[in-house]
Amino acid sequence: MTKTIIASLIGMAFTHSAVSADNINLDEITVKANRFERNESETTYASEIHTTSQIEASGATTLYDYLAQQTSLNLLSSFGSKATPSINLRGFGNENGYQNVVITVDGQRLNNIDQTSQLLGAIPLGNIERIEIIKGSGSVIYGDGATSGAVQIYTKNKTGVTVSTSLGNFGQKNHYINAGISEKFIDLSASLAHDSHDGFSKKDITGHHDQFTANTQNVKLKIKPTDYLRFLAEGTSSRNDIRYVSPLTRAEFRGDPRQSAGTTYTQQGLNTDQWKVGTEYDISESLKLAATHYQEDKRSEFTGFIADYDYRSDDISLSFNHENMSVIVGYQNFDGDRKTSSNTTTKNNSAIFLSGEYQPAWISEALTLSAGARNEKVNYRYNPTTGVTLKDSEHLDAWDVGANYRFTPELTIFANYNQSFQAPDIDRFFVQDFSLFPTITTAFNGFIDPAKVKTFNLGLNHTTANNRFKISVFRAQLDDEIYFNSNSFTNTNIDKSHKYGLEIQDYYKLNSQLSASIIYNYTRAIIDKERDFGASVKDKDLPGVPKHTLVANVNYQFLNHASLNINHTWRDKSYVFNDFLNNAPQKQDYYQSTNIVLSYQYNNLNFFAAVNNLFEHENSIQTSDDITSPDGSTYPVDFVRTWRIGMRADF
């Protein structure tokens, strides 16, 4: 049945006429991922934009659900946690992909200095204005880790009041309130959000489900004493309690994916306090100075292990925009500390960058050229409570060149060549020796180097009054791609590897009632040579990377105030995480979920009902096979049908 549904969605998108008698116009979309505001079709890099209207039409209530169901990002609940999910973009895999994409919220970096994914659960979906995904580019502005690209999340400058609440099965609760004012000299907004569920799996041996709770508060202030000067301040606090599911064998999962198999779910408390202060000063009509300081204090608490994180960063830039030229020069630093009972480990990044765009009218007003470069220094420090302090550093470079040519107002093409890098996190850079346990020694990891990636992108944009179409191809050449070798239990590098693929986005306004969209990706991630396994690992697929992924949506306004949204997300099978030889008896199953939202608008009230995973497809994360891990390596994720009903009121 699911194959029939997805075929129907594709057929609707490609067989209906894109011409409407009402001449419906798609939203004008600008992109500012590289700090220059440009029309989406005029960028020199591959981009994917999601606006407020798209977010609201989706019916999603959490950022995880929206990104997993509506974008080209391959998100999976990370061993039961949707707050810190696994992320795969452009073939870096569900195991390590989160470290190969930089995610920011209003400029504040969410990437961590250790092997912890970005905390997306602390970002209420209702507070988001726009999401920008740039692919195969972004290393000049975002630096360390932007090897597959970057995701920028921009929150709303709220005016008025919005209240939203929903309830569902498995104890699902989602509540949100956002209020704000905008006056001549001041913008002020605040939000409160709660998201929780009682668990989707059965009780463990201690009587607990795999429940989740998140409470988030945010306050944002902008002071505008003159037309040329602005002061910014923002603070966010989030408290998260997570219980992770335990692994099952393949037989146990197929018998009953909800069972706990006689284990205890791991509990984590994850709390964060973020704030930022900044200023923007328009020196002249063309010249602007901006400076922002960011701070994040975070605590991760497991039974028997507590880690406190202290992140401090600064971003200072001077930008020039005049007629056919835009230039930005800047300085960025990021100081990250992780403190445990036995040591303080630090990763500090500092960088300077220069980026610019130029429209050479003397050649053609339809041509846009871009170029940029970045130099970044990464310092490492391991400071134990007793023992020897270790220090080291790396110097790394990134650069980017691109071009966009407008053939007609509707048709543009772009090409982009980018060099990026990923410096190892502190868990990979330092290695602990347990051979003399209980004495544990820490040393530098001699098996690890920074990863370097060169990516070529070529694409086409075609935009009409009712249709937005994008297609792009890419090839990335990698030296020293970072991964964990489960055979030798070492964090190390793949000597040589490459990735290539095809990406298609299409959004139709079929008529005043019906719209449809499709995002399709074909991706190959190939290991060219890896000496740790010998000659046998050559021309093998990187585990955890599906070749085909598809996101299809249909939105139908069947009454003046009522609409139906149908979404289907499908991802191909792949090799399990540790199967670098591509010969394990088990594979990562394909992922699919069909989701439906029905909404009704009455004045300022919106009532909705939603069903996720309508056909109860039993999705999972497969880390290895049962021979390698006899206690189980199948983690149930997004494997039950869930429903919820709710309302949103705008005043």
Q: What is the pLDDT of residue 4?
A: 40
The 10s digit of each residue's pLDDT in 230-248 is: 999 999 999 999 999 999 9
Residue 216 CA to residue 360 CA, distance in Å, equals 47
Residue 437 binned pLDDT confidence (cut-offs 50, 70, 90): low
Is 464 in contact with 434 (CB distance < 8 Å)? no
Q: What is the DSSP letter of 363?
A: T
Residue 395 CA to residue 349 CA, distance in Å, equals 10
Q: In 3-state terms, what secondary structure has residue 251?
A: helix
HEC profile of 266-296? EEEEEEEEEEEEEEEEECCCCEEEEEEEEEE
With tokens 């009455």, the residue in question is 602
Is 623 in contact with 635 (CB distance < 8 Å)? yes
**Res. 9: pLDDT tops 60:** no
Q: What is the pLDDT of residue 377?
A: 98
CATH number, residue 583: 2.40.170.20
Task: Tell whether omega for the bond before 360 is within 30 degrees of 0, i.e. cis.
Answer: no
> Which domain does 444 fall in, by range?
2-650
How many structural domains does the chain have?
A: 1
Torsion of CA 259, 261, 262, 266, to 10 degrees: -80
Least confident of 88-97, 205-214, 356-365, 486-495: 486-495
Is 49 in contact with 26 (CB distance < 8 Å)? no
Is 93 in contact with 622 (CB distance < 8 Å)? no
Beta strand extents in 37-100 (DSSP E only): 38-39, 46-51, 74-78, 81-88
> Whole-prediction pTM value?
0.92
Residue 53 binned pLDDT confidence (cut-offs 50, 70, 90): confident
How many other β-carbons are positioned within 10 Å of the β-carbon of residue 633? 24
**Res. 19: pLDDT tops 80:** no
Residue 515 CA to residue 541 CA, distance in Å, equals 37
Q: In 3-state terms, what secondary structure has residue 424?
A: coil
Residue 530 binned pLDDT confidence (cut-offs 50, 70, 90): confident
Beta strand extents in 52-138 (DSSP E only): 74-78, 81-88, 101-105, 108-109, 128-135
**Res. 361: pLDDT tops 90:** no
Q: In 3-state terms, what secondary structure has residue 94?
A: helix
Q: What is the pLDDT of residue 489?
A: 80
As a whole number, mean pLDDT of residues 341-365 equals 94
As a whole number, mean pLDDT of residues 627-643 equals 92
CA geometry: angle 167, 172, 173, nearest 5 deg:
60
Residue 217 CA to residue 177 CA, distance in Å, equals 10
Is 124 in contact with 112 (CB distance < 8 Å)? no
Q: What is the mean pLDDT of the chain?
A: 91
Q: Which helix (H) or strand (E) holds 248?
A: none
Least confident of 131-140, 320-329, 388-397, 434-443: 434-443
The 10s digit of each residue's pLDDT in 458-484 is: 999 999 988 999 999 999 999 999 998
Burial classification of residue 221, based on how many CB atoms lie within 10 Å of its CB (0-12 exposed, 13-18 middle, 19 or more buried): middle
Residue 591 binned pLDDT confidence (cut-offs 50, 70, 90): very high
